[in-house]
Amino acid sequence: MKYHLAADSISTLPDSPGVYLFYGSLEELLYVGKSKTIRTRVRSHFSSPEERRLCRKVYRVEARETAGELGALLLESQLIKELRPLYNVASRRRRRIIVAHRSMNPQGYAIVNLEAIDYLDVKETEPILGVFKHKTQAKEYLALIAKSHRLCPKLLRLEVARRYCFSYHLGQCGGACMGEEDVAGYNARVEAAFEARRIKAWPYEAGVTVEELSPRGSQREVFLIDNWCLVASFNSADDGFAKIPHTQHRFDYDSYKILYSYLTDPQNCKAIKSYGRREFEELRRNGIRISGAELPSGSKT
């Protein structure tokens, strides 16, 4: 971990994967970003006219190197949630996630209920249609699919009506709100409408490890991942391994998107090693041996 005065010492930053942190004159954290090449990315901040307002406030830059892009993405997401930088407005707050649950009314039609929760157990997602960052995003999505899939706003809980919903009178609802539409056909459209928001099934028998090697080969990181959750990770440098602290082994939607993108990319298949349940649990307890070096034990969260 190194510290650098902004602008004057950008040339001393590592041009390798990792995360960079901008601090102000009072040591307030202004911004957290990630890049495959830290020095190049930081330099682009200071040369961009659109970012002059931010860069004028930067007093120093802290760089935290990672072995590869996956480590940088996960570390950036973690730091933004934990440290809440002033300029990372979009994702700096640790919000409760919004889950869209499916239930059935007495006539057998699918009803959508929104629930705010702190964490999600992805092993029990059968009644879950989708996950959203906040309620506004969820409501906007429901309004969108009501039109695109001809779904009833009353059954989506977007409006309250004693009889027909307002969309029925506009010819945009087939009458499911009053039992006039084929149940199976309507429910099939509900399932199709949420396909893009659904949490994908975990594609492995149990957990996996992912190993990243830095461009110069001086640093390695090994990630233990299970059910879209980062269980633990290890960083190696100079033939020694150190465990990297993480939040509890629970579902995080931002991390899910990062891990899903990485694990489903065919280019990354060589870095992924899958295990059976018993074998993976042993890895968590006792550590693992990889690339000729042994990772330390005590990898439980």
Query: Distance between CA atoms of 217 and 68, rounded to whole angstroms?
Result: 11
Residue 126 pLDDT > 70? no
Long-range contacts of 279-282 (CB under 8 A, 24+ apart): 279/206, 280/206, 280/207, 280/208, 280/224, 280/226, 281/206
Residue 121 pLDDT > 50? yes
DSSP code per residue over 60-110: EEEEEE-SSHHHHHHHHHHHHHHH--TT-TTT-S-PPEEEEEEEE-TTS-E
**Stretch 284-299: mean pLDDT, rounded?**
52
- Going by C-alpha positions, the residue among 150, 100, 154 that lies closest to residue 129 is 100
Could you say which DSSP state residue 270 is in? Answer: G
pLDDT confidence tier of residue 255, bands split at 50, 70 and 90: confident
Q: Quick one: which H or E segment has residue 237?
A: strand 229-237
Number of H helices, E strands in the chain: 8, 14
**Stretch 103-112: mean pLDDT, rounded?**
93
pLDDT on residue 249: 58
**Stretch 31-48: mean pLDDT, rounded?**
94
Structurally, at CATH architecture level, domain 2-83 sits in 3-Layer(aba) Sandwich (3.40)
Query: Distance between CA atoms of 125 and 82, rounded to whole angstroms?
Result: 27
pLDDT tens profile 128-144 = 888 888 899 999 999 99
pLDDT confidence tier of residue 297, bands split at 50, 70 and 90: very low
Could you say which DSSP state residue 243 is in? Answer: E
Pair of tokens at residue 258 = 């990062």
pLDDT tens profile 214-225 = 887 778 888 999
pLDDT on residue 123: 56
Query: Distance between CA atoms of 45 and 62, rounded to whole angstroms?
Result: 14
Instruction: Tell me the residue type at 155.
Output: L
Query: Distance between CA atoms of 47 and 52, rounded to whole angstroms?
Result: 8
pLDDT confidence tier of residue 111, bands split at 50, 70 and 90: very high
With a pLDDT cut of 70, the percent of the chain lying above it is 82
177, 152 Cβ separation under 8 angstroms: yes
pLDDT confidence tier of residue 236, bands split at 50, 70 and 90: confident
Query: By three-state DSSP, how is residue 123 classified?
Result: helix
- Going by C-alpha positions, the residue among 87, 215, 197, 58 that lies closest to residue 137 is 197
pLDDT on residue 154: 94
Residue 100 pLDDT > 50? yes
pLDDT on residue 290: 47
Torsion of Cα atoms, 257 then 215 then 61 then 87, to 10°: -20
Q: Can you give the pTM of this predicted structure?
A: 0.72
pLDDT on residue 212: 92
Q: In what order do the strands lie in the sheet with 128-132?
A: 110-117, 97-104, 128-132
pLDDT on residue 151: 94
Domain boundaries, the chain: 2-83, 97-197, 208-294
87, 54 Cβ separation under 8 angstroms: yes
CB-side neighbour CA atoms (13 Å) of 49: 0
Rg (CA), the chain: 24
Query: Distance between CA atoms of 289 and 278, rounded to whole angstroms?
Result: 16
